Amino acid sequence: MKAAVYYNNNDVRIEEVEKPKLRDGEILVRIEASGICGSDVMEWYRIKKAPLVLGHEIAGVVVEVGKGVEKFKEGDRVTAAHHVPCNTCRYCLRGDHSVCDTLRATNFYPGGFCEYVRVPAINVDRGVFKLPDTVSFEDGSFSEPLGCVLRGQRACKMEAGKNVLVIGSGLSGLLHIKLAKALGAGKITATDISDFRLSAAKKCGADYIFKADVDVPSMMREATGRLADIVIICASADSAFKQGLESVDRAGAVMFFAPKEPGKTYPMPVFDMWRDNITVINSYASPPFDTLASIDLIESARVTVADIITHRLPLRETAHGFKLVAEARQSLKVIIEPQK
């Protein structure tokens, strides 16, 4: 079968690889849609394992089932989680699935940017979800990124009426805006350095949009009367972190949603954070509960996603897709369609 093999952000090659063979308890999924995630182009993170086939935001059709599989059959429309938790360790039992050792060790093979994916038995057991007939494959591929966003907002204790600031209006930022709107947030403010992305943020439901280089706290006070109850940082620059801490109201929460490279640090005004009782939160991954909830949000159209897809590309153009995402200019979500 054909696969897009990643060597670096500027070197993604279409190669012939062996079609996966199933073992007991596994399923084979024909990939119909696979989204390019911002993490796929974090070269510092990916290149150490290259060459490899990336792609974890997938949707497709079950074409083969291994011995012992009862929950799924050939023809089922599904999405599948690449990482799954054990659900029994002390982290999982208290709801911290994203730090589970099993979650960090599991994956499907070889990756979503190919024609077929083998889903291991443990993923089949707790990380494969049927897609409703009314949910397209490309919409279904958002179940993982929207699930990550949902998990993050749960950690922030998102509630109706809370004012939200989203710093960085790329794909993740836009999903945060859409979800916050769906959950009844008060006023939503978005920032970015790109006019293109700020325009998208407005269309996705932001009440106010500001260029990232202005005095955002002052602009928020003027527009909404106060600072944000929740600040969601979808950019990794020091300036984004500084802006976030300056823009959060007393007793508010600041969430990191975009990581820095290992070893990199942020300056932390600990006294100010202590005095104003600011909670700092990190969020990573989408536990099964959040993935299921994200499918429901998409099916019910409480969160629409098709409107933020800017490019749909066949597998042979995956390299172009990576360039679009890495350059972050006139693209939002890029979907690869291996069967076209």
In tens, the pLDDT along 212-269 reads 999 999 999 999 999 999 999 999 999 999 999 999 999 999 999 998 888 888 888 9
Which range marks the domain in which residue 205 is found? 157-282
CATH code for the domain of 127:
3.90.180.10
| Residue 297 is assigned to a structural domain of this protein | yes
> What residues contact residue 11 under an 8 Å CB cut-off, 6+ apart?
319
Say how many domains are in the chain: 2
Task: Looking at the structure, tell me whether residues 130 and 198 fall in a common domain.
Answer: no
- Residue 10 in any domain: the answer is yes
The answer on 112 and 9 residing in a single domain is yes
Distance CA 77, CA 58 (A): 11
Regarding whether 300 and 221 lie in a shared domain, the answer is: no
Q: Compute mean pLDDT per 10 residues along the chain, 340 residues long, and list them.
A: 97 97 98 97 92 98 98 98 96 95 96 98 97 98 98 96 98 98 98 98 98 96 97 95 96 94 88 94 92 98 98 98 95 97
Considering the domain architecture, whether residues 83 and 211 belong to the same structural domain is answered as no
> Within this chain, do residues 29 and 44 fall inside the same structural domain, yes or no?
yes
pTM over 0.85: yes
Q: Which residues contact 33 (CB under 8 A, 6 or more apart)?
A: 58, 59, 60, 136, 137, 138, 140, 141, 335, 336, 337
Same domain, 278 and 290: no
Please report which helix (H) or strand (E) contains residue 200, including its range: helix 195-203
Q: How many angstroms separate the CA atoms of 310 and 312, rounded?
A: 7
Do residues 58 and 189 both lie within one domain? no
Q: Is residue 152 part of a domain?
A: no
Establish if 32 belongs to a structural domain. Answer: yes
